[in-house]
Structure 1
Amino acid sequence: MVQIAKVRCEYLKNPLGIDVPHPRISWQIQSDERGIQQQAYQLQVSLEPEFGHNVWDSGQNASGQSVHVVLDQIELQARTRYYYRVKVWTAGLSLEGSVWSETAYFETGLMDYSAWTAEWISAPSDFAATEEDAERIPLLRTFVTVEKMVKSARIYATALGMYELQWNGNRIGDDYFTPGWTSYGKRLQYQVYDVTDQLAVGTHAIGALLGNGWYKGELGWKQEKETYGSRAALLFQLHISYEDGTEDIVVSNNDWQAAGSAILMSEMYHGERYDARLELDWHSGQAADSIAWQPVETIIHPNSIITQQVNESVRPAETLKPIAVIQTPEGDTVLDFGQNMVGWVKFEVEGAAGHRVELQHAEVLDHAGNFYMGNIRRAEQRIQYTLKGSGKETFEPHFTFQGFRYVKLTGFKAPINLEAFRGIVLHSDMERTGFFECSDAKVNQLHHNIVWGQKGNFVDVPTDCPQRDERLGWTGDAQMFIRTASYVMNVAPFFTKWLQDLKADQTREGGIPFYIPNLKPEFSEGWGDTSHSSAAWGDAAVICPWTIYEAYGDARLLEAQYDSMNQWIQYIYGQGSNPYLWNTGFHFGDWLGLDSKPNSYVGATDRDLIATAYYAYSVSLVAKAAKALGKETEVERLAAWHKQIIAAFQHEFLTPSGRLSVPTQTAQVLALRFGLVSGAAKERAEQKLAELLKEQDDHLTTGFVGTPYLNPVLSEAGRNDLAYRLLLQEDYPSWLYQITKGATTIWEHWDGIKEDGSFWSEDMNSFNHYAYGAIGEWLYSYVAGIQPDEEEPGFKHVKISPQPGPGLTWAEARLTTMYGVVVSSWRRKEAGRMEIQVTVPGNARATLKLPEAQAAADVLENGTALSQTAGITAIYDEAGSVTLELGSGQYHFAYDSYL
């Protein structure tokens, strides 16, 4: 039976606020049968869930496309809900096709900034008139009276700063840190809330807390505030449609009131200070509280930069219970949550009015078992709560988040009740798509740490770290990790949003800032003569959109970013006297490479080599993007350009005998991964890499630039044994060394905690820093062997080539693609018997290369010879390997391994 599942609009389930004129619809096809391929589809769009009045019907469209189907035949209206459903035809189905999918919907937003009739409102300019109130968070409010039955009601809102909406004292929605962090001078997102169920007949109070957030709060390690503006403000519009056909609009204007909230301070880095005694009965409308309220002030701010939100908001993802309460040698009371996490602690407390409790957050304990804040630098990560004394009180913060495993408690009565504390995990609400498991428990913990590193650092932007006074969207970290990220979670909406900001912040010359969204240019002073455009960092402009295209088949994103991609390589072309070498400007190099000079963060690999290697790589990817987008004349130009860069690279960095002139692991890795050497020179580089590893007793010396590609390069070179050896090392430096030291996320330094229990320097020692988690790509794409095909992206064609290696007896990966679930599993049984299990989703196909198989005739599929098995359309041996072409379905292969 053929069924339609996971019907989505722009990756999202039933989204509100779609403003693109032609949104895209995707679906998955599920069936117990093999070889299911869609031959046609029918897509209906209606204003009614019963589809009694369709605004569009594709009819039976002879097409195999089931991903990113564009609704290009409908002229969408603003603030309108559209219902849609789909059915498909495959071989063997009746003339009626499949049953209809479940009904889904999307709802358009305002669609044009001119539709905003509200005014920007802010607390009065003298709101914080006293020093005590200097950091107090304002609360804005208004009242609305409903006198008849409501059919539907939507709030459209955004802010300069962060906002939290409340309705009659209750929080609206579960979106946090709205409107999100964007390049605020150029792009400002808005959100949509369905409040139909809240609008009963009567008078209602609407409130809005306004936090500093990223807009005007402290950002970066230079203690700077007001990066984007100095005044928090709200833009609010409530559209009410009544059953009788009439409408009302409630907008933010000078009729609103402002008062000080109970939040005395809230900063992203430093935490929150809250005095429950100052809570107002603000939603009752009673005259008794009128003395605390002042009229708001309206301000002027352009609405033309307001845009729809394309990514999922930050939301509470899960809840952790503390596993222990610790009394440290220094006498502190500390909660251990068992997991380095990002979010905050929700707690219950009881006591007298005016009593204050405090929570401070840290990632690790020191070697003596004491609470350690050194690596947090200036970030206080402190929550202070003053009780109102009304029995049991519950609190959780509003406009801040912490990175922590351990929480020091002050002011709480002993004995501590663990049930009174919960860790609320917050991150962008991305769908989990990837799961990996193998026979080694430490490798499984490594994968766990990779997942939690992504959770902790994908908080609206891809931050480098979530705990200290930094938390910036570093471009280098993002591009190094994006391929792993795309396996672990659906990051297409997340990076779509972030890449729009990258494009917005790109310089006129095409340069890319070190972090996105960008800060003030002077913030980056001290890194040479520029605040942008380091090799491997700026290349995020090219690598990230191409990776999203490969992983999700998103040609629209690739098209939207193509000019930015091209401008980046044009920028490099204009640097220096030789347009095919990049040997000028500031570069971070192989950041934190272990072969660095003493007291240096930069590895030994020549920065000009790294820059030119990435230059070649980016030009090659732009050429691929041009081909994918049908820009044929561009393909020819870029291909010639790429050849000239390779020639210049070889002339500069290759000796006459074919040896790379830079004898580091990273130099060999980049030259091999980016195809900069061939023939004998390629063999020399592979041999040299093996020699360099042997010199280090099979340990790496690579930093941020070399590490992501190290294991893939070894596997591609036929040195899977070396790649596995690197993975499974447990002493320093290695991935599993961190596991032996109790890590639950990825560290910034290979030796963040040294073998003697001491720490790396406090100035830069994050214990949640995902860059080295890029090894996750190798686990999925080489150990399990699941890879996309750039010619049929989005895993329409899945390349499955598991590569078992020494030290593991089995491994399995599951990946939910745009077409459905892909599974690749291998197990070595007794006497050398190999078993492979594979799942290929409907409307996709796979090419499976069986590892260690001697001949196709020796392979059984579910106990049957391949020649008698359905769903396998081609079998051929190539260079001693067995490769199969598979349609959709589940397969189980068994054979005697030649090893």
Structure 2
Amino acid sequence: MKWTNATWIKPAVDTGDIAPVFGKSFTLSGEIREATLSLTALGVYEAELNGKRAGEFILAPGWTSYYSRLQYQEYDVTGLLEKDNALTVTVGKGWYRSRMPGWQGSKWQDGLRGNPSGLLARLTLTYQDGRQEIISTDESWKVSESRVRFSEIYDGEIYDAAFEPVLNGDVLVFEGPSDTLIPQQGEEIKEQERIAGARMFTTPKGETVIDFGQNITGYVEATLEGRVGEVLDLSFAEVMDKEGNFYTANYRSAKAQYHYTCTDGLQTYKPKLTFWGFRYIRVNQFPGGVEKAVPAQFTAIALHSDMRRTGFLSSSSPELNRLFDNIIWGQKGNFVDVPTDCPQRDERLGWTGDAQVFVRTACLNYDAEKFFAKWLADMAADQHEDGYVGHVIPDMLQNPHASAAWGDAAVICPWEVYRAYGNSSILENQFECMHKWVDHITAATTTPNLWTGGTHYGDWLGLDAPSGSYKGSSDETFIASAFYAHSTSLVIRAGKVLGLDVSSYEALYDRIVAAFRETWPAYKTQTECVLAAHFRLAPDCQAAADQLARMITDCGTKLQTGFVGTPYLLHVLSDYGYAELAYSLLLREKYPSWLYPVTKGATTIWEHWDGIMEDGDFWSADMNSYNHYAYGSVADWVYGVAAGITPVESAPGYARVRIAPVPDTRLDWLKASLNTRHGLVRSEWKKSDGMWRFEITTPVDAEIVIGGTLHQVTPGTYYFYHNF
């Protein structure tokens, strides 16, 4: 977009780590009908008109593939206008000019960090008499150092409330990005839940700590009495160590500062341009001494992309319900404009592998269509000409080798979004990216019809990993070739939805399956069994599932899968007659299991099943996030198998629905509901007088399967009974 008259401006004198505040004063020349503020920045901004915030978008303009796409926002500011007006915009480093990523040498790190604190803004005033006045960024604007003395995504914020900005500094016009400007595409990041401090305690080391009772992504608002120069200083943590002391080693190099210098009197502060991942805060300094602090002075504010909650799960098991809650909190905490792996340490990147394993669950829990459409557009923008897709999107790492099950997000995510919402535009927009990914594998492999060569993550964090390795024992080329087949099959299905000729991919798929079966007639790990059965690559999928069941029971009814195998594990078991064993894994409380972290007090999903081990020690310090949503993908099995709610493939988006619940006597009841584009679907079952009682509501024509009997029904609520 070309902005008439608006030009990029920056401080004439670089403010360094201090966030600049840009300003423009103006006087109205009549009665206003409408006022629209359009703006974007190289960093993140907070705009105020006459001291009142414009809009609710936190960390605007958001995080996109900045070399190709920079969002701008528009705000209705009519109600903020006065006769004489002052417009100010504070610009922090944000993602754009952050020290992200932690890996050296990428074009992102080297190319963007040195850019200026740029601002582009246009205020359009429409008077009642029809006149228009446009106030745009140009040389007439002024700039000053702001109260934000430092702000960065990893390292937090330093704020001096006693500092008085004086807008008398000059700005320079410069050639900022213009051809890459796009209107706001994703969901805005907004403040969500507010959580009061649950308790304050003193650790064995004498530290003053406040527990909010929930691991969140966001920031802390503090209200206190202070005098000029007094300081509030906080540190953040997700967990306490085994001795009960404050633990921050897993934040790695992220400083996560919260340093506030007071003005006089009663004051309230919450950060403007950054966020943290945390459950606990340590009060390092407080006006009058840390002993003066009380929990009521601190409120944790959760941030996430403003998605509508659509899916709800509950059961007779308190532990399972806590898991369901943890999955929701894990999604919220990591869906902050980009589906990040974690929100706390010096990473917070849009890992494609995590996104593809969780996308189905994400679209059940929330209306995530708009969220993923924006992120997938960034993926298409970052895709290389040869079809390569990076390990993270935006692709800040620029890893020289693509990885199976990570790059496959290019195909899996659009398909799952289409499946969830029935809107073929996501396939239209992404189909080139989808088929180019498969074409990349075809061109890059060293063995025709398989995917060999290259460097892969394998079954990341598989529990059968050799000593000293993060990768499970599954054959990496087996995994890569399995996903090659799977992505090819989805390109075929997507192409047919769009009415395209996909005969070449159908022939390719047949060749991949034949080569796969010839190369791997036997499977040696749980994950290999899972992929062979779930992707229908085994010549006898039932035999593969039987082997999987034996392997699980032979090792004590434990999963040994990692990032690649775990999302499909329970599906394979229930699809091939082992639903009871699937429930045994779901309900298991000992390590390794979904419920083990619950027994250790988890309030989000962990990166490692044993992030806190049985003896209270930590799995590691360098890679041990306690808010890592990927393993929360198990919720799609609960929705789709335990409660039995799935869309009919010929009618995506739940235009028709299949409901085939699979109860288990170890639970007294289970409830699931899903707000679809066509209305509310509910599936509930419970024990009643020695039988199962099913209550099912559908807003559309549905196939209901109870005890193996198919019922074709029209919209309504239905009750069924069946023996245990």
TM-score by length of 1: 0.79
Which SS does the other structure have where 1:709 is aligned?
helix
Q: Is 2:414 the partner of 1:545?
A: yes
**Which residue number corresponds to residue 677 of structure 1?**
538
Q: Secondary structure at the match of 1:561?
A: helix
1:162 matched residue in structure 2? 44
> How does 1:850-861 map onto structure 2 within 5 Å?
850=706, 852=707
- 1:889 matched to 2:713: no
Higher-Rg member (1/2): 1
Supply the AA of the counterpart residue of 2:714. G
The amino acid of 1:207's aligned partner reads T
The answer to whether the 8 Å contact 1:359/1:409 transfers is yes
**Deviation of 1:890 (Å):** 2.0
Residue deviations 1:596-641 (CA, integer Å, cap 9, x gap): 110100000000000000000000000000111111x22x322221
Q: How far off its partner does 1:575 sit?
A: 1.9
Q: How many residue pairs are counted as aligned between the two chains? A: 717
Deviation at 1:750, TM superposition (A): 0.9
The reply to whether residue 652 of structure 1 matches residue 542 of structure 2 is no
Identical columns (%): 44
- The Cα of 1:891 is off from its aligned counterpart by 2.0
The letter of the residue matching 1:172 is: A
Structure 2 residue identity aligned to 1:117: N
Alpha-carbon distance between aligned partners in 2 of 1:279 and 1:828, rounded to the nearest angstrom: 66
Q: Which residue of 2 aligns with 1:381?
A: 256
What's the CA shift string for 1:146-175, capped at 9, x where partnerless? 121111111111111111101111211110
Taking a change above 3 Å as real, the CA distance of residues 577 and 586 of structure 1, as seen in their structure-2 partners, is closer
Cα deviation, 1:557-603, whole Å, max 9, x if unaligned, reads 11010011000000001123433100110100000001011010000
How far the C-alpha of 1:428 sits from its partner, in A, is 0.4
Letter in 2 for 1:889: G
The partner residue of 1:127 within 14, 38, 45 is: 14
Q: Which amino acid aligns with 2:642?
A: V
**Pair 1:302-2:302 in alignment:** no
SS of the aligned residue for 1:691 comes to: helix
> Which residue number corresponds to residue 714 of structure 1?
573
Q: Which runs of 5+ in 2 are unaligned?
A: none
CA distance in 1, matches of 2:110, 2:141: 25
Distance 1:779 1:896, change over 3 A: closer
The whole-number CA distance in structure 1 between the counterparts of 2:154 and 2:562 is 27
In the TM superposition, residue 887 of structure 1 has moved relative to its aligned partner by 1.5
Alignment match, 2:587: 728
- CA shift for structure 1 position 826: 0.9
3-state SS of paired residue (1:616): helix
Contact 1:721 1:806 in 2 (8 A): no
Give ranges in structure 1 of 5+ residues lacking alignment: 1-112, 129-133, 281-288, 525-529, 655-659, 853-880
- Find 1:256's aligned residue among 124, 141, 147: 141
Q: CA deviation at 1:691?
A: 1.2
Q: Which amino acid aligns with 1:127?
A: D
Is the Cα contact below 8 Å between 1:747 and 1:770 reproduced in 2? yes
CA contact (8 A) 2:49 2:81 kept: no
Q: Is the 8 A contact 2:391 2:397 kept in 1?
A: no
Give the Å deviation of 1:829: 1.4
Match of 2:354, as an amino acid?
D
SS of the residue corresponding to residue 451 of structure 1 reads: helix
Map of 1:762 onto structure 2: 621
Distance 1:440 1:569 in 2: 43
- Structure 1: how far apart are the matches of 2:498 and 2:45? 40
Q: Deviations over 1:467-491 (max 9, x none)?
A: 0000000000000100010110011
Question: Which residue among 655, 673, 677 is the counterpart of 1:796?
Answer: 655
Paired residue for 1:456, among 333, 336, 353? Answer: 333
Q: Is the 8 A contact 2:611 2:626 kept in 1?
A: yes
Over residues 421-473 of structure 1, what are the superposed CA-to-partner deviations in whole Å (9 max), with x where a residue is unaligned?
A: 10000000010001000111101100100000001000010000000000000
* Aligned partner of residue 468 in structure 1, secondary structure: coil
Deviation at 1:223, TM superposition (A): 7.2
Secondary structure of the residue aligned to 1:239 is strand
For 1:391, the equivalent position in structure 2 comes to 265
Q: TM-score of the superposition, structure 2-length normalised?
A: 0.97
CA distance in 2 between counterparts of 1:115 and 1:555 reads 32
Structure 1 counterpart of 2:456: 587
Task: Name the counterpart of 2:102.
Answer: 221
Distance 2:238 2:25 in 1: 44
Q: Does 1:403 align with 2:284?
A: no
Distance (Å, rounded) in 1 between the aligned partners of 2:104 and 2:75: 35
- AA of the residue aligned to 2:262: L
1:796 shift after superposition: 0.2
Aligned mates of 1:386, 1:226 — CA distance in 2 = 33
Aligned pair 1:847/2:714, yes or no? no
The answer to whether the Cα contact below 8 Å between 1:322 and 1:336 also exists between their aligned partners in 2 is yes
Query: Which SS does the other structure have where 1:155 is aligned?
Result: strand
Which residue is 2:633 aligned to? 774
CA contact (8 A) 1:219 1:227 kept: no
Alignment of 1:103-122 (within 5 A): 113-122=1-10
1:239 aligned onto 2:124: yes
Pick the aligned partner of 1:570 from 433, 439, 461: 439
SS in 1 for 2:277: strand
Deviation for aligned residue 1:686: 1.4
The alignment status of 1:212 with 2:93, answered yes or no, reads: yes
Which of residues 50, 59, 67 in structure 2 aligns to 1:185? 67
Q: Which residue of 1 aligns with 2:154?
A: 269
| Contact kept? 1:120, 1:234, Cα under 8 Å | yes
**1:554 maps to what in 2?**
423
8 A contact 1:465–1:769 mirrored in 2: yes
Q: By how many angstroms is 1:405 displaced?
A: 0.4
Contact conserved, 2:50 with 2:81, CA < 8 A, in 1?
no
Contact 1:457 1:464 in 2 (8 A): yes
Kept in 1: contact 2:20–2:144 (CA 8 A): yes
In the TM superposition, residue 228 of structure 1 has moved relative to its aligned partner by 2.5
Deviations 1:209-244 (A, max 9, x none): 011111111112247856525212111011111111
Report the 3-state secondary structure (helix = DSSP H, G, I; strand = E; otherwise coil) of the residue aligned with 2:23: strand
Q: Retained in 2: the 8 A contact 1:216–1:227?
A: no
CA contact (8 A) 1:463 1:472 kept: yes
Q: How does 1:10-409 map to 2 (within 5 A)?
A: 113-124=1-12, 126-128=13-15, 134-200=16-82, 202-222=83-103, 227-229=111-113, 230-280=115-165, 289=166, 293-388=168-263, 390-409=264-283
Deviation at residue 789 of structure 1 after TM alignment: 1.9
8 Å CA contact 2:446, 2:453 repeated in 1: no
Residue 410 (structure 1) shift: 1.7
Superimposed CA distance per residue, residues 518-562 of structure 1 (whole angstroms, 9 cap, x where no aligned partner): 1153xx4xxxxx2x4100000000000000000001101110100
Stretches of 4+ aligned residues off by more than 4 angstroms: 223-227
Tell me if 1:512 matches 2:393. Answer: no
Q: Deviations over 1:176-235 (max 9, x none)?
A: 1111111101011111100111234x1100000011111111112247856525212111
Q: CA RMSD in A?
A: 1.3
The 2-side partners of 1:149 and 1:849 are apart by: 64
Contact 1:402 / 1:466 at 8 angstroms: preserved in 2? Answer: yes
Mapped to 1, the partners of 2:5 and 2:356 lie a distance apart of 40
